[in-house]
Structure 1
Amino acid sequence: MGQDNLSKFKINREGPSSMKNYPKFGANNSGPGYGGVVIVTILVSLFVTTVTWFFLNGAIKTVSDKVGEVLNTGLEEVTQEGGTVADSDTRRVIVKEESAVISAVKRAQPSVVSIIATKDLQDFYQNRESLYNDPFFDYLFGEGNVTPEGNSSNGNGTGKATVGGGTGFFVSQDGMILTNKHVVADDTADYTVLDNSGQEYLAQVLARDPAQDIAIIKIEGSDFPIAELGESSALEPGQTVVAIGNSLGEYSNTVTKGVISGVGRSIMASDNGGVNGQIIENVIQTDAAINPGNSGGPLVNIEGQVIGINTAIDVSGQLIGFALPIDVAKEAVTMVKETGEITRPYLGVRYIPITPEVATSRGLAVDYGVLIAKGTQYGMEAVVPGSPAAKIGLKENDIVFEINDQKIDSEHDLSSTIKKKRVGESVRLKIMRDGKEQILNVTLEAQP
């Protein structure tokens, strides 16, 4: 899959040190995120440069006095009159954001849980050398920092070692929990859920999404508080959002506030400098702090509705976090409820999106579509062996420029177009090979 114009980001993989002295969700943790920042702007008529007691006959206070009143009271109606008394322009600013954020947190927080991954110490010590040599592990958790539970003398202890964790939230009253796939990616680990009251439950992984960083786990029980799922299709930059999660694996119920910085982003998320990378498309960019441990937690709007799943951070910059749109996760939840698994259609090619610049530099006959090409890492073939693309004979350097008569371009990229189809559906590809157009029909299969 093409990586032009894509930045590389670290997935928030939570690890061993994250659960040391793990606090209960019910703890009275304090921290940033509960207070709002209020900026009050006073609009003064261009016809007046100075407001004096003489000109207004003592009718109103100076502008500076009025601003002072607002900043001191925090939640107060403000009226500024400028210009002459006859043509004054009255503006009212009502400061309510702080209380709205607190209300949103109170609505969403009961559904948020902490997820803890543990392994037998014997298995852990057999694999710890590779962990210690992992730069990503060292970056997040400190070199060799683990939390064994039990006797660990001579490096051959018994018991459990905490090897990771993250956040999730209830999506059904019978215990279904939505989280990130990378939080529960280890098939050999055991997963424990800590709910908002501090109660612990053993969790089972029901399904992992093959195409998105989404997983669904389940605990036994009933009447769990579920999160209200909002809509992510109409999000706009500037909207206030709140990220809730188990920050750094130690501070449960952590709340950070920010805004939506952008929508429809595509990122390359990886866990070790590009190794095991995965392109994640159409994500939400936010400046609300998403720290290691927040992975899988909800990103909520001012109404307390979940509009995204906290997923990744850009470690090269500050205040750049990413969340998966909740609409994508809703599909996964529905699939699991109906079939017990998450299936996504796929074609099975890696590609470079063709732009006019790419077409010019490579001497291509068309300036849209995708060029099938090998990945940047060793072993990343242009056409995945055994895939639907391989079965119809697609080759490296083929250009796919239409699917079912839909032009493939920046607004209709190949991956998103395929994901809108169904497993088992037949689609028509218009390709160019060696300068000649061809039509190929392919039946989409479930992505492994």
Structure 2
Amino acid sequence: MLLLIFCSLLTTLDKNVRVLTQRISKYVVMVVSDEGNATGTIIDRNTVVTAGMFPDKLPVTLITYDDNTIEGVVAGVDEFSGIVVIKTTESFNPPAGIKNPITGQLAIVYGNSLGTLGPVGLGIIHKDKDIYKIIVPLNPGNNGSGVFDMNGRLIGIIGGVMSPMSIRELVSLPKDLSLFYSGNIGIVIPYYHIKVIAGIISKKGSIRRAWLGVSLYERNGKVYIRDVVRGSPAEKGGLKKNDIILYIDRKKITSMEDVASYIKSKKRGDRIKIIVKRKMRKIPLNITLGQAAPPLKYRNLHIKGPETGSLKPQGSPPQGGGK
């Protein structure tokens, strides 16, 4: 009896996935250029986004599910998140988007797998430390693949696949267990984040992100400076190793995430006031933030060149932990 119920559920799921695949196929395109190939996901009437290493103003060809070709151009790239914004004169019918993905919800990934558009796989959305992930079999060309819920709404796009080191760092998996996840945990850049980034790039062509230049650690509810990057805004502003960060612009600091999220909300050139505790003294410091370097948190799944499947890393590591 249980077997019959299980088989019935699988049959229903199979039918629903087939219908869903047909529906979402119109929202995803292949991105082909001299710099490489990837997947693009439509987010508004004349904008497609992908993720990878495409230079500004690069001409690209978009190939739709029904083999139509559309010419586009890279309007800008956010090196920090890896989002690439492509503009075209074509008028698309974009999907509805989800503002807040739900941990545990079932999702389908649709994209370009080695030159063919189609479903990549089903997976469960998981969030850990503000990073959304999905476990699906990923291949070169899957960067930029659309991640949809079971109603066809856009959750986000695949930004890359996490390395075993990043998995252990972000999920705290033991070394032996993390091997089972190697190459299968896709980073999902959420829809709401994509819309914000694409909007800024469409208007300004680039994004100016802030950088402080310290690495931190926590102990007993306090945030300590482990190291200060030489020549960084932190060093120039007077921060020192072993300082305890108490406040940033009147915001009480109790975790490293407090520091990271606050700096992330700023842009290059902004001035902030940091109060630290140093040898029993409270010291106020005024610091002008610098430009953040792009992180290397996961491998890019952008196919380099029209005929090769080599993986190309996304950006360079941030200095001082990227804060």
Question: Structure 1 length normalisation: TM-score?
Answer: 0.54
- Counterpart of 1:360 in structure 2 is none
Structure 2, unaligned runs of 5 or more: 164-178, 294-323
Which has the greater radius of gyration? 1
Give the whole-Å Cα distance in 1 for the aligned partners of 2:219 and 2:106. 34
- Counterpart of 2:48 in structure 1 is 177
Choose the corresponding residue for 2:223, options 354, 357, 369: 369
- Counterpart of 2:36 in structure 1 is 164
- Counterpart of 1:79 in structure 2 is none
Change (3 A) 1:209 1:199: same
Give the whole-Å Cα distance in 2 for the aligned partners of 1:430 and 1:105. 53
SS of the counterpart of 1:113?
Answer: strand
- Counterpart of 1:54 in structure 2 is none
SS of the counterpart of 1:441?
Answer: strand
Change (3 A) 1:434 1:99: farther
- Are the aligned partners of 2:59 and 2:74 in contact in 1 as well (CA < 8 Å)? no
1:4-403 residue pairs with structure 2 within 5 A?
Answer: 64=1, 67-71=2-6, 73-74=8-9, 97-118=13-34, 164-174=36-46, 176-180=47-51, 182-184=52-54, 186=55, 191-219=60-88, 221-232=89-100, 234-236=101-103, 238-247=104-113, 249-260=114-125, 262-265=126-129, 282-315=130-163, 316-318=179-181, 319-344=184-209, 346-356=210-220, 367-373=221-227, 382-383=229-230, 385=231, 388-403=233-248
Change (3 A) 1:209 1:189: closer
SS of the counterpart of 1:334?
Answer: helix
SS of the counterpart of 1:354?
Answer: strand
User: Which amino acid counterpart does residue 39 of structure 2 have in structure 1?
Assistant: T
User: Which amino acid counterpart does residue 127 of structure 2 have in structure 1?
Assistant: V
Give the whole-Å Cα distance in 2 for the aligned partners of 1:222 and 1:302. 27
Give the whole-Å Cα distance in 2 for the aligned partners of 1:218 and 1:314. 28
Give the whole-Å Cα distance in 1 for the aligned partners of 2:261 and 2:99. 18
Give the whole-Å Cα distance in 2 for the aligned partners of 1:423 and 1:325. 24
- Are the aligned partners of 1:400 and 1:432 in contact in 2 as well (CA < 8 Å)? yes
Please, what is the CA RMSD of the aligned residues? 3.1
Give the whole-Å Cα distance in 2 for the aligned partners of 1:396 and 1:203. 48
User: Which amino acid counterpart does residue 303 of structure 1 have in structure 2?
Assistant: N
User: Which amino acid counterpart does residue 33 of structure 2 have in structure 1?
Assistant: A
Give the whole-Å Cα distance in 2 for the aligned partners of 1:187 and 1:340. 9
Report how many aligned residue pairs link the two structures: 276
* Cα deviations by residue, 1:283-321 (Å, 9 ceiling, x for unpaired): 212123332211111111122112122122245433422
Give the whole-Å Cα distance in 2 for the aligned partners of 1:103 and 1:170. 19
SS of the counterpart of 1:333?
Answer: helix
User: Which amino acid counterpart does residue 257 of structure 1 have in structure 2?
Assistant: L
1:340: how far off?
Answer: 3.5
1:259: how far off?
Answer: 0.8
- Are the aligned partners of 2:57 and 2:74 in contact in 1 as well (CA < 8 Å)? no
- Are the aligned partners of 1:290 and 1:310 in contact in 2 as well (CA < 8 Å)? no
User: Which amino acid counterpart does residue 203 of structure 2 have in structure 1?
Assistant: E
User: Which amino acid counterpart does residue 246 of structure 1 have in structure 2?
Assistant: N
- Are the aligned partners of 1:258 and 1:289 in contact in 2 as well (CA < 8 Å)? no
Give the whole-Å Cα distance in 2 for the aligned partners of 1:206 and 1:372. 39
User: Which amino acid counterpart does residue 102 of structure 2 have in structure 1?
Assistant: L
Give the whole-Å Cα distance in 2 for the aligned partners of 1:244 and 1:194. 14
SS of the counterpart of 2:85?
Answer: strand
* Cα deviations by residue, 1:389-440 (Å, 9 ceiling, x for unpaired): 3542334554434223333344743222222245665432122345532112
Structure number with higher strand proportion: 2
User: Which amino acid counterpart does residue 50 of structure 2 have in structure 1?
Assistant: T
SS of the counterpart of 2:222?
Answer: coil
Give the whole-Å Cα distance in 1 for the aligned partners of 2:270 and 2:56. 31
- Identical aligned residues as a percent: 24
Change (3 A) 1:308 1:258: same
Moved runs in structure 1, 4+ residues, more than 6 A?
none
Give the whole-Å Cα distance in 1 for the aligned partners of 2:7 and 2:73. 51
Change (3 A) 1:423 1:188: closer
- Are the aligned partners of 1:207 and 1:342 in contact in 2 as well (CA < 8 Å)? no
SS of the counterpart of 2:5?
Answer: helix
- Counterpart of 1:141 in structure 2 is none
- Are the aligned partners of 2:43 and 2:95 in contact in 1 as well (CA < 8 Å)? yes
